[in-house]
A = this chain, B = another copy of it.
Amino acid sequence: MLTFVGLGLYDERSVTVAGREAIRSADRVVAEFYTSRLVGATVADVEDAHGVDVEVRDREGVERDPDFLDDAAETDVVFLTAGDPMTSTTHVDLRLRAHERGIETRIVNGVTAATAAVGLTGLQNYRFGKATTLPFADAHGGEGVPDSVVETVDDNREHGLHTLVYLDIKVDAGQYGRTDRGSPDGTAAREEEFMTADHAAGLLADVHPDALGIVVARAGAPDAEVVADRISALADGDFGDPLHLLVLPGELHPLEAEALAAFGDAPAELLPE
């Protein structure tokens, strides 16, 4: 059996009780932290919390050489990821490979950044359209904001819908928002580059400088923060440690506007009457 367990958003206590039981009773625990990672815990913290050894795999070790599938055919293997385990396409692929080999699979879901961002902002879940990801300029070979991102935001807006904008993460790079926390496996000094919300707002300010934007910093963490302001103003902000997300709202329901004022200090002139 291969059980995919989502660790949730923040630290070793963000997993569900059912997930924790699956980890503790597993014969072998494998994890990847290249699609996302816990910002409030190291791998050692996860190991200590559950009393298990965690084998961290890189992309190649999951996508090309998932040797742990051999064990999953005979014993209970748990595969850990931050957030929810099925948010990344690569894990759907892994589940399909296991299935092809006749290995039973199970999913223990985790809390996602999207869920937390909706909750923290007070925006309504069903008023969100398609989500998008804002890449670093050099990752898409162009400058500024890719057309596909602008189209998604504008298309959602035309329908009155909000857009959740995930911000790019680069591994083994180093420029904006680099962390000095060291690697999640506690051994190598892997460098990670998280796009910060002020950087993202700077890019988006070329497109919609006067629109309302909402920064969600450290969704799921005890020091999570929501800041709602003009996009051009957000570009000058500093929102602290990663991860950051942006929400570009469509039409605001009165209760949503009230929540943005109360929990995100949105300036009154940017909200509907």
Interface residues of A (CB under 8 A from B): 4, 6, 8-18, 20-21, 84-87, 89, 92-93, 95-96, 99-100, 106-107, 109-112, 114-116, 118-120, 122, 124-133, 155, 159, 161, 220, 222, 255-256, 258-259, 262-263
Please judge, given known A-B contacts A130-B126, A133-B126, A161-B130, whether A96 and B259 are in contact too, CB under 8 Å.
yes
Q: List 26 A-B contacts (CB under 8 A).
A: A6-B111, A10-B18, A12-B17, A13-B17, A14-B17, A84-B115, A84-B118, A86-B118, A86-B119, A86-B122, A87-B118, A87-B119, A92-B122, A92-B256, A95-B263, A96-B122, A96-B258, A99-B262, A107-B119, A107-B120, A109-B111, A109-B115, A109-B116, A110-B111, A127-B130, A130-B161
How long is the Cα–Cα vector from A124 to B125 in the complex, in angstroms?
18
* CB-CB nearest 7 A-B residue pairs: A86-B119, A13-B17, A13-B18, A109-B111, A92-B122, A109-B116, A99-B262
Min CB distance, A165 to chain B, in Å? 11
Copies in the assembly, this chain? 2
